[in-house]
């Protein structure tokens, strides 16, 4: 109001100052400090030579005030010179935020900059007042109703001001009670399980679920509505919501009034519209059946399945509407799925973004959806999953974009976020089974962005000293046949690995091939050579080991053929949440070598989500080996071992199975282990969930010596909590486990860990 009166007064004064019109011979601007005269001339509509009138003077004042650069504008006539006197508004020199612990200063300053309040901008008191109100609103949305904001504006030289916004945040209002009124079919505690908001628990310090938030309450009301609609309560409504706050603004009390209505069932299910797919096939995708309880969740899932089925035939823009016809008298619903497939679409172009290191061809050879062909929802998802399983990318997403000006073309935009696919390291690690480890490794799964794998390593621990070099080309042919080779030298001293002591020096190499036979399945073949020299220390008392060396010698040449099959349908190669990985391996030491034996091994991992936040996993590792031909006994240095972080946690590494009189494990030729896990997120590690996994597990397993048959009564069990973190320093895995049914001679460990080694 004051500004309006000032403007009116100035206009009146201007009218007096310029009572008569005149021809402008010159224009002079007075009072400028930072703003140039040219800026002023850009805002006025008169120039030298124009006739100046009272109307023009009013227009000049309005235009200059509208620019928001000036607090005061006066227009005068001195002879035939137009004089414009201005008083510039100050510029914002600096903005300082003080006391904002709950909100990041950088983010706040960016949001203020978006509305024109930033350093270098013209200062307006009204804008500062709006900023204070906006900050209050943001704190209110976080449940901090005791917030007080006070701003100091300090004048500086050269017509500038420094702004200091002081915030006393107070404490967030916690939820004292949540009361649901009107529920008769379900207990209040069962309903509140669906809520993000709560009155607090032991983890509330980290999760803040007991702090009131308007947005969180809105989400909780929608969860409540979904709860009832998924259980047949079609007429459910939230009648009202009351939120009250205590006088000290520290506690909130929420009352939700609901009307449940009656539970409805499905009377009939129909399909209507353009059924381009056989009706019986579509009905198989409808999960909600006649006489079942009405469920919006099941209806939505049925709609998604039908949409995906039509998408597999190229109908990317199919529209499926489930329309309920409600019979309130009989509390039944006639459900009709109206199907509009739209026009069939084909893919015009597939683009890739985000792959700054990886070549396009590495991704494109994984595509199952091709350009210039009908779009298939299944093939698009297969393409995305195959890219994700490469292990080069933290995430891979795809967006279907309609082509402008057409109704039957789409573009596919794949966006990937690359992760480190290699490492160059030299450092120390520790394993509870191998002790201190020194390693130097160069490993690159995506060498020069080509998708080729290359590695060179040196690893030194109290058990192993290993030198290795390997190379694999996963696409040696256009058909996806892989080819690679490995060279290595390894010295092993088993005495520090909790097993019977013996030393081996082994060197050799292999050549291998992988042959794809289906989308998720591969056959692989390898041929290799190993030279092994074995030495028994003087304190080794195992007669069988001594007899083996006396019979077979202490140095062996092994020519092995490896055949196998693998299958991988996991959604990610790194910490998956769904899918299965299987691998069957058979290794045969051929008769042309010093020893004849074979090894069979089967590994499987299965993951399935059991809720939005929980994943269930099963894992098993089975192995069997035996001798044949001229070799009368399976080589003891090829034995399997169990116990420790890699299989049966809670038992000391490699200690399960038959032991010597001194309590040293000898391993066995039969391995059987399994594990069940429930993987769940940690609320206060939300920013690292992609590289951090916590799970509750139960393990079972053992190894059996060649003189034993499988006996389920000898299996060992354990349960506990496990954590795996893919840290910048390497993989770290920890487990706290409680062994069960341990027997005399078993060595147990409640806490086990590995640092600086893979798992």
Phi, psi of 535 (to 5 degrees): -135, 135
Quote the Cα angle for 259-265-268, to 5°: 140
Task: Give the mean pLDDT of 627-651.
Answer: 90
Domains and their CATH numbers in the chain: 2-88 (3.10.20.310), 91-168 (3.10.20.310), 174-259 (3.10.20.310), 265-340 (3.10.20.310), 346-418 (3.10.20.310), 433-608+618-675 (2.40.160.50)
Distance CA(719)–CA(741), nearest Å, equals: 12
Distance CA(343)–CA(157), nearest Å, equals: 68
Task: Tell me if 632 sits within 8 A of 597, measured CB to CB.
Answer: no
| Radius of gyration, alpha carbons of the chain | 37
High-pLDDT (> 90) share of the chain, %: 36
Quote the Cα angle for 34-36-38, to 5°: 165
Residue whose token pair is 């116990």: 643
Which residues make Cβ contacts (< 8 Å) with residue 300, sequence separation at least 6? 322
| pLDDT at position 480 | 87
Task: Give the mean pLDDT of 215-236.
Answer: 92
Beta bridge partners of 29: 84
Q: Where are the alpha helices (DSSP H) in 452-597?
A: 543-552
Tokens representing 419 are: 């992760």
Residue whose token pair is 């999960």: 287
Each residue's pLDDT tens digit, 535-575: 887 766 678 888 889 898 889 999 999 999 999 988 877 67
3-state SS, residue 611: coil
Distance CA(128)–CA(150), nearest Å, equals: 11
Each residue's pLDDT tens digit, 100-116: 887 778 878 887 887 77
Tokens representing 37 are: 């005269």
Task: Tell me if 675 sits within 8 A of 698, measured CB to CB.
Answer: yes
| pLDDT at position 206 | 66
- In whole numbers, what is the pLDDT of the chain averaged over residues? 84
| pLDDT at position 388 | 83
| pLDDT at position 431 | 42
Query: At 127, is the pLDDT very low, low, confident or very high (cuts 50, 70, 90)?
Result: confident
Q: At what angle do helices 125-141 and 214-229 cross, to 10 degrees?
A: 40
Distance CA(695)–CA(682), nearest Å, equals: 10
Q: Alpha-carbon dihedral of residues 541, 534, 562, 596, nearest 10 degrees?
A: -70
Task: Tell me if 390 sits within 8 A of 366, measured CB to CB.
Answer: yes
Tokens representing 696 are: 């509750």
Query: At 14, is the pLDDT very low, low, confident or very high (cuts 50, 70, 90)?
Result: very low
Q: Which residues of 62-101 are buried (b: 16+ CB within 10 A; e: fewer)?
A: eebbebebbbbbbbbbeeeebbbebebbbbbbebebeebe
| pLDDT at position 118 | 83
Euclidean distance between the first and the last CA atom of the chain, given in angstroms as a whole number: 72
Task: Give the mean pLDDT of 383-406.
Answer: 86
Q: Where are the alpha helices (DSSP H) in 30-115?
A: 37-43, 54-66, 105-114
Question: From residue 261, how far is each of 234, 258, 709, 720, 730 by CA, in Å?
Answer: 7, 9, 64, 45, 56
Beta strands of 20-107 (E only): which ranges? 22-23, 26-30, 51-52, 70-78, 81-88, 91-98
Which residues make Cβ contacts (< 8 Å) with residue 42, sequence separation at least 6? none
Query: At 595, is the pLDDT very low, low, confident or very high (cuts 50, 70, 90)?
Result: very high
Each residue's pLDDT tens digit, 686-707: 444 566 788 999 999 999 998 8
Distance CA(98)–CA(303), nearest Å, equals: 52
Q: Alpha-carbon dihedral of residues 385, 390, 391, 393, nearest 10 degrees?
A: -70
Q: At what angle do helices 296-312 and 214-229 cross, to 10 degrees?
A: 90
Each residue's pLDDT tens digit, 423-482: 444 444 444 444 444 445 566 777 787 888 888 776 665 566 788 899 999 988 888 899
| pLDDT at position 439 | 46
Task: Give the mean pLDDT of 268-293.
Answer: 91
Tokens representing 398 are: 């795809």
**Residue 12 clears pLDDT 60, i.e. is over it:** no
| pLDDT at position 731 | 63
Task: Tell me if 339 sits within 8 A of 272, measured CB to CB.
Answer: yes
Which residues make Cβ contacts (< 8 Å) with residue 591, sequence separation at least 6? 629, 630
Distance CA(693)–CA(613), nearest Å, equals: 12
Tokens representing 366 are: 């994984």
Beta bridge partners of 570: none
What is the largest distance, in Å, between two alpha-carbon atoms of the chain?
A: 128
Beta bridge partners of 535: 503
| pLDDT at position 511 | 96
Each residue's pLDDT tens digit, 331-377: 999 999 999 998 899 999 999 998 888 888 888 988 999 998 999 98
Quote the Cα angle for 27-29-33, to 5°: 155
Distance CA(61)–CA(40), nearest Å, equals: 11
Distance CA(494)–CA(483), nearest Å, equals: 33
Task: Give the mean pLDDT of 233-259.
Answer: 90
Q: Where are the alpha helices (DSSP H) in 373-460?
A: 377-389
| pLDDT at position 461 | 58
Poorest-pLDDT segment among 326-330, 491-495, 656-660, 712-716:
491-495
Phi, psi of 164 (to 5 degrees): -125, 120
DSSP 488-517: EEEEEEGGGGTB---EEEEEEEEEEEEEE-
3-state SS, residue 218: helix
Tell me which H or E stretch contains 722.
Answer: strand 716-727
Q: Is 345 exposed, middle or buried (0-12, 13-18, 19+ CB in 10 A)?
A: buried
Tokens representing 561 are: 């053929």
Q: Which of 21-30, 164-173, 489-498, 551-560 has the highest mean pLDDT?
A: 551-560
**Residue 75 clears pLDDT 80, i.e. is over it:** yes
pTM: 0.64
Query: At 261, is the pLDDT very low, low, confident or very high (cuts 50, 70, 90)?
Result: very high
Q: Considering only CA atoms, which of 646, 645, 675, 673 is closest in space to residue 657?
A: 673
Tokens representing 466 are: 């290993």
Q: Which of 130-134, 171-175, 518-522 has the highest mean pLDDT?
A: 518-522
Task: Tell me if 608 sits within 8 A of 574, measured CB to CB.
Answer: no
Task: Give the mean pLDDT of 381-395.
Answer: 85
Distance CA(283)–CA(306), nearest Å, equals: 9
Tokens representing 184 are: 């008769």
Distance CA(612)–CA(708), nearest Å, equals: 45
Q: Residues 580-589: contacts with CB within 8 Å, 24+ apart?
A: 580/604, 580/605, 580/606, 580/607, 581/605, 581/606, 586/562, 587/560, 587/561, 587/562, 588/560, 588/561, 588/562, 588/563, 589/558, 589/559, 589/560
Quote the Cα angle for 754-756-759, to 5°: 60
Poorest-pLDDT segment among 157-171, 195-209, 251-265, 296-310:
195-209
């Amino acid at each position: 109001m004051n500004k309006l009166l000032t403007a009116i007064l100035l206009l009146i004064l201007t009218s007096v100052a310029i009572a008569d019109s005149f021809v402008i011979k010159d224009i002079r601007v007075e009072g400028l400090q930072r703003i140039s005269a040219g800026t002023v001339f850009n805002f006025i509509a008169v120039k030298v030579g124009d006739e100046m009138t009272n109307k023009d003077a009013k227009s000049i004042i309005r235009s200059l005030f509208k620019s928001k650069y000036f607090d005061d504008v006066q227009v005068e006539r001195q002879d035939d010179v137009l004089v414009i006197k201005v008083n510039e508004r100050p510029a914002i020199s600096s903005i300082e935020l003080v006391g904002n612990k709950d909100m990041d200063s950088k983010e706040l300053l960016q949001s203020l900059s978006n509305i024109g309040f930033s350093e270098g901008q013209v200062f307006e008191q009204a804008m500062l007042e709006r900023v204070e109100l906006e900050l209050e609103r943001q704190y209110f949305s976080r449940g901090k109703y005791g917030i007080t904001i006070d701003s100091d504006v300090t004048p500086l030289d050269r017509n500038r001001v420094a702004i200091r916004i002081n915030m006393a945040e107070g404490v967030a209002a916690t939820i004292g009670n949540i009361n649901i009124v009107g529920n008769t079919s379900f207990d209040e505690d069962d309903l509140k399980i669906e809520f993000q908001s709560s009155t607090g628990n032991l983890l509330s310090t980290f999760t803040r679920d007991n702090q009131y938030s308007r947005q969180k309450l809105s989400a909780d009301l929608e969860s409540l509505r979904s709860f009832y609609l998924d259980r047949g309560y079609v007429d459910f409504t939230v009648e009202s919501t009351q939120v009250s706050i205590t006088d000290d603004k520290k506690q909130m009390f929420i009352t939700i009034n609901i009307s449940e209505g009656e539970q409805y069932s499905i009377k009939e299910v129909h399909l209507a519209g353009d059924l381009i797919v056989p009706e019986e096939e579509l009905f198989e995708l409808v999960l909600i059946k006649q006489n079942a309880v009405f469920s919006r969740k099941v209806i939505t899932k049925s709609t998604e399945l039908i949409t995906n089925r039509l998408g597999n035939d190229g109908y990317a823009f199919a529209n499926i509407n489930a329309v309920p016809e409600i019979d309130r008298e009989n509390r039944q619903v006639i459900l009709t799925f109206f199907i509009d497939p739209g026009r069939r679409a084909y893919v015009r172009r597939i683009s890739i973004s985000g792959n700054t290191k990886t070549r396009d061809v590495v991704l494109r050879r994984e595509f199952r959806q091709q350009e210039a062909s009908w779009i298939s929802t299944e093939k698009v998802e297969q393409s995305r999953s195959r890219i994700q399983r490469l292990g080069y990318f933290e995430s891979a997403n795809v967006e279907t974009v309609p082509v402008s000006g057409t109704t039957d073309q789409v573009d596919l935009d794949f966006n990937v976020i690359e992760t480190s696919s290699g490492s160059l390291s030299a450092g120390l690690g520790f394993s509870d089974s191998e002790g201190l480890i020194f390693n130097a490794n160069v490993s690159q799964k995506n060498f020069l962005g080509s998708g080729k794998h290359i590695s060179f390593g040196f690893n030194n621990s109290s058990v192993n000293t290993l030198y290795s070099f390997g190379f694999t080309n996963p696409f040696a042919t256009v058909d996806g046949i892989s080819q690679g080779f490995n060279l290595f030298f390894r010295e092993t001293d088993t005495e520090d690995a909790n097993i019977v002591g013996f030393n081996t020096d082994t060197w050799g190499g292999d050549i291998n091939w992988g042959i794809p036979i289906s989308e998720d399945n591969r056959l692989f073949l390898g041929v290799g050579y190993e030279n092994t020299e074995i030495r028994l220390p003087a304190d080794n008392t195992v007669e069988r080991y001594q007899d083996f060396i006396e019979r077979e010698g202490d140095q062996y040449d092994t020519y092995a053929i490896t055949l196998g099959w693998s299958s991988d349908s996991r959604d990610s190669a790194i910490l998956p949440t769904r899918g299965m990985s299987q691998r069957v391996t058979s290794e045969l030491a051929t008769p042309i070598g010093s020893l004849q034996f074979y090894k069979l091994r089967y590994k499987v991992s299965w993951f399935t989500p059991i809720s939005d936040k929980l994943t269930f996993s099963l894992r098993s590792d089975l192995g069997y080996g035996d001798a044949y031909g001229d070799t009368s006994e399976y080589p003891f240095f090829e034995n399997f071992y169990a116990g420790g972080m890699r299989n049966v946690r809670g038992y000391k590494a490699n200690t399960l199975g038959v032991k010597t009189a001194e309590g040293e494990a000898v391993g066995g030729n039969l391995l059987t282990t399994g594990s069940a896990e429930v993987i769940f997120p940690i609320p206060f590690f939300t920013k690292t969930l992609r590289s951090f996994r916590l799970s509750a597990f139960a393990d079972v397993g053992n190894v059996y010596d060649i003189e034993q048959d499988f006996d389920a009564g000898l299996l060992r069990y354990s349960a506990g909590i496990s954590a795996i973190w893919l840290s910048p320093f390497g993989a770290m895995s920890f487990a706290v486990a409680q062994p069960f049914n341990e027997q005399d001679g078993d060595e147990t460990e409640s806490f086990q860990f590995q640092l600086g080694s893979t798992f």
